[in-house]
Amino acid sequence: MKNLYIRWVGILLGGIIIVLLSMWRYYQEVMTIPPEQLLREQPARTVRVQGTVKAGSLMKGKTGGVTFHLIGEKEGIEVRYAGEAPDNVRELSSLVVVGSWDPSTREFTAHQISLRPNYGFVVAAYVISFVPLSLFLFRMERSVALLYNEVKQETVYKEEWQGE
Amino acid sequence: MSALIRKIRQYEGWFGAGAGVCIASGLYLGLVTSPPDYYQGEVVRIMYVHVPFAKTALLAYAVLFIGSLWYLWRRDPVVDNMCHAAAGIGAFFTVGGLITGSIWAKPTWNTWWTWDARLTSFAVLLFILIGYLMLRNFIDDAEKRARYAAVFAIVGFVDLPIVYFSVEWWRTLHQPLSVSVRGLSIAPGMLVPLILMSIGFSLLFTYMLMVRTQMLYLQRLLEAKRGRLLSIYVQAE
């Protein structure tokens, strides 16, 4: 039984490491901020901003690229994207712009436009599959360990032998 | 103790360790380093758990089918224990495959469920496994129970090729096979974690099958021992 618990502590630690690494990647590459937070914090680094393209604000630039107003719940920001706009850049569409904020021009220069992350579904799928799987396997292993002990402790053959 | 159980006890650790290594590295690659999909974005990561769950469910039924044939041929009670174990584990993975598939369907198809050929035939597989487990509960006589359950599992096997080829035979919402004779339709960065997770889950299934077979065998052994003990006391009185 001791070996079983030691093994499962190891499995748990391995699981925690993978969860921490996934969370680190999430904060680095997936997590977004709303336009309100961008305006409040004015970060100098590259950020991911999630919002909705305001109706009537999407315009094609003369030298290529697009500009649009990305709105959050209360405030919005002007976004300039230099490359060929992907299909998902439409009015009223919800998207994520990756780039940097220039406080002097109050314009956000995006170098990438990506889909709105729906990471909650990923978390739900992994939690729903791995938690029951671990419990199912742990209960089976524990049950086998207990059964081996019980079988060893049963003295039926001994008594039967003595009886004869 | 049965020779088969002794062999299982001897080798189970290797399968468990192999499964642990493959799944841990598959999870690392799948959740940390693999790229998001161009159309689906981050939700494509559900693939690394949904596909192995679904494949393992099919593998479990294939083992149940072969085990049932083997039982009818040799009438070995340990093989019957193995079939019973495969059905229980198979039902678990089938439920897991349906739930993870449903979670994946919502952001990609905008629905939790649709009566698609792949989804429906997979749900039928779950009902066959539940039917198999219920049949085992209803029959008291051990030999008759094992025989009827084996025949049921063999008949139910007809659903397996339907599940597998449903995406080829009918036009369905479900995506076709990513790895087939026509070639690969998946990016290499996604293929490696998918393969690792699939191998890991196959090894995990084998390990779980070994553990559960022992569990069912030991329960039967203990019942037999206690039954004999009881009969000795009854005779003594």
Length of chain A: 164
How high does pLDDT run on average in chain A?
87
Residue type, B71: Y
pLDDT in tens, B207-216: 999 999 999 9
pLDDT in tens, A112-143: 888 777 889 999 999 999 999 999 999 999 99
B5: which residues sit within 8 A by CB, 6+ positions away?
B78, B213, B214, B217
**What are the residue ranges in chain A where pLDDT is below 50?**
159-164
Identify the CA nearest to B225 among candidates A163, A146, A160.
A160
B218:A21 CB<8 A: no
ipTM for the complex shown: 0.89
Q: What is the mean pLDDT of residues B11-32?
A: 95
Cβ-based contacts of A98 with chain B (< 8 Å): none
Q: How far is A3 from chain B (nearest CA, A)?
A: 12
Angle, vertex CA A78, rays to CA A73 and CA A84, nearest 5: 115
A122:B27 CB<8 A: no
B44 band by pLDDT with thresholds 50, 70 and 90: very high
What Cα–Cα distance (Å) separates residue B176 from each residue in A20, B166, B168, B180?
A: 34, 9, 7, 9
B100:A154 CB<8 A: no
Of A117, A119, A150, which is closest to B222 when you measure between CB atoms?
A150
pLDDT in tens, B45-103: 999 999 999 999 999 999 999 999 999 998 989 999 999 999 999 999 999 999 999 99
Kindly tell me the burial class for residue B234, based on how many C-beta atoms sit within 10 Å of its own C-beta (0-12, 13-18, 19 or more): exposed
A156: which residues sit within 8 A by CB, 6+ positions away?
B225, B226, B228, B229, B232
Of A128, A148, A160, which is closest to B232 when you measure between CB atoms?
A160
Residue showing tokens 């469910």: B57
Interface test with A, best of B43, B55, B92, B234 (most A CBs within 10 A): B43
Cβ-based contacts of A137 with chain B (< 8 Å): 208, 211
At A60 the three-state DSSP class reads strand
A160:B222 CB<8 A: no
Whether B5 and chain A come into contact, CB under 8 Å, resolves to no
Q: How far is B218 from chain A (nearest CA, A)?
A: 6
